[in-house]
């Protein structure tokens, strides 16, 4: 699957001139299930990386030394069933297996032909570079500020290991302040801070479905994802039939 997606996406880059910069944005997660916020991070990352001017009206603040990019592609990889199953078991919830989660990823990203799947985070790079040796592919690992704060990932960032971090309420300021204290240059383009997003989580989506609050679930999930989960998902409200 990942090889196919990388091949298809690389074909869309064929017309780029030699030496063009192409950002490869990757996301590794449980995505049980994938939310609209997960998809939104790819769209916002693309907007930020392709942005031509830091001063344009309504533009996101862009690190001054960050390269200019001619294209952006994205890839999603998933945590394994053992990890996801154990995490949800702690919350006394059932989990989706990896094939089900992949299917929901495809449904949620159907309108984004530049976003594909990969088996391991970053594994798409080998295929892209072999098929398009005339392009300069630059990899960004995308994370939420809560995860970055937990593992102090700003310390991992350098010119060959880029990070794109989206803010989350309660974690954004802490990450930026800690990175600055540790001497990270936020203008270098190695550790890039994106905007703070509304706190939409897979946990909230599962709870909304289990409670039968489908209006709330619509705030978290793509319509096609909800439609599939209402038929196949494990988090539907229990129906009590008579005394």
DSSP for 93-127, written as a single string: -----HHHHHHHHHHHTTT-TTEEE-SSTTTHHHH
d(CA 24, CA 89): 33
Instruction: For residue 163, give every residue at least 6 positions away whose Cβ sits within 8 Å of its Cβ, in sequence order, or none.
Output: 140, 141, 142, 143, 148, 153, 154, 156, 157, 190, 191, 192
Q: Tell me the C-alpha to C-alpha distance, in Å, between residue 18 and each of 6, 132, 176.
A: 19, 9, 36
- pLDDT the model gives residue 238: 66
d(CA 101, CA 103): 5
According to DSSP, the β-strands at 21-29 and 71-78 are parallel
- pLDDT the model gives residue 73: 97
Convert the pLDDT of each residue in 216-237 to its tens digit.
999 999 999 999 999 998 998 8
Predicted TM-score of the model (pTM): 0.92
* 140, 24 contact by CB (below 8 A): yes
Convert the pLDDT of each residue in 199-210 to its tens digit.
778 999 999 999
User: Which of the 8 DSSP states describes residue 163?
Assistant: E
Tokens, residue 4 = 């196919």
Convert the pLDDT of each residue in 15-24 to its tens digit.
999 999 999 9
* 73, 21 contact by CB (below 8 A): no
* 77, 28 contact by CB (below 8 A): yes
Tokens, residue 242 = 């008579």
* 65, 188 contact by CB (below 8 A): yes
The distance from CA 145 to its chain's CA centroid, rounded to whole angstroms, is 12
With pLDDT > 70 as the criterion, what percentage of the chain qualifies? 92
- Closest by alpha carbon to 120, among 74, 164, 78? 78
Q: What is the mean pLDDT of the chain?
A: 91
Mean pLDDT value of segment 148-177: 95
- pLDDT the model gives residue 202: 95
- pLDDT the model gives residue 4: 63
- Residue 7's pLDDT band (boundaries 50, 70, 90)? confident
d(CA 21, CA 69): 5
- pLDDT the model gives residue 242: 43
Mean pLDDT value of segment 190-198: 92
d(CA 209, CA 181): 42
Neighbours of 170 (CB within 10 A): 12
Place of tokens 């999930």: 221
State the sign of the Cα–Cα–Cα–Cα dihedral 28, 34, 35, 41: positive
- Closest by alpha carbon to 188, among 196, 200, 180? 180
Convert the pLDDT of each residue in 81-110 to its tens digit.
999 999 999 999 999 999 999 999 999 999
- pLDDT the model gives residue 223: 97
Tokens, residue 44 = 């916002």
Mean pLDDT value of segment 64-71: 95
Neighbours of 80 (CB within 10 A): 10
């Amino acid at each position: 699957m990942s090889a196919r997606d990388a091949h298809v996406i690389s074909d869309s880059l064929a017309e780029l001139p030699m030496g063009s910069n192409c950002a490869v944005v990757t996301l590794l997660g449980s995505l049980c299930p994938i939310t609209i916020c997960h998809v939104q991070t790819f769209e916002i990352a693309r907007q930020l990386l392709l942005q031509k001017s830091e001063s344009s009206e309504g533009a996101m603040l862009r690190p001054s030394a960050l390269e200019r990019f001619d294209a952006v592609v994205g890839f999603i990889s998933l945590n394994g069933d053992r990890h996801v199953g154990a995490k949800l078991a702690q919350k006394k919830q059932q989990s989706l297996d990896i094939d089900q989660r992949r299917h929901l990823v495809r449904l949620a990203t159907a309108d984004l032909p530049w976003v594909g799947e990969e088996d391991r985070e970053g594994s798409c790079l080998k295929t892209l570079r072999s098929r398009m040796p005339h392009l300069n592919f630059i990899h960004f690992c995308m994370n939420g500020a809560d995860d970055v704060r937990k593992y102090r990932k700003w310390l991992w960032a350098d010119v060959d290991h880029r990070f794109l971090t989206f803010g989350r309420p309660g974690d954004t300021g802490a990450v930026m302040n800690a990175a600055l204290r540790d001497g990270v240059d936020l203008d270098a383009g190695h550790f890039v801070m994106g905007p703070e997003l509304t706190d939409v989580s897979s946990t909230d989506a599962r709870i909304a479905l289990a409670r039968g609050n489908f209006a709330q679930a619509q705030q978290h999930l793509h319509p096609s994802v909800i439609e599939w989960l209402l038929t196949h998902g494990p988090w539907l409200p229990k129906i009590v039939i008579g005394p």
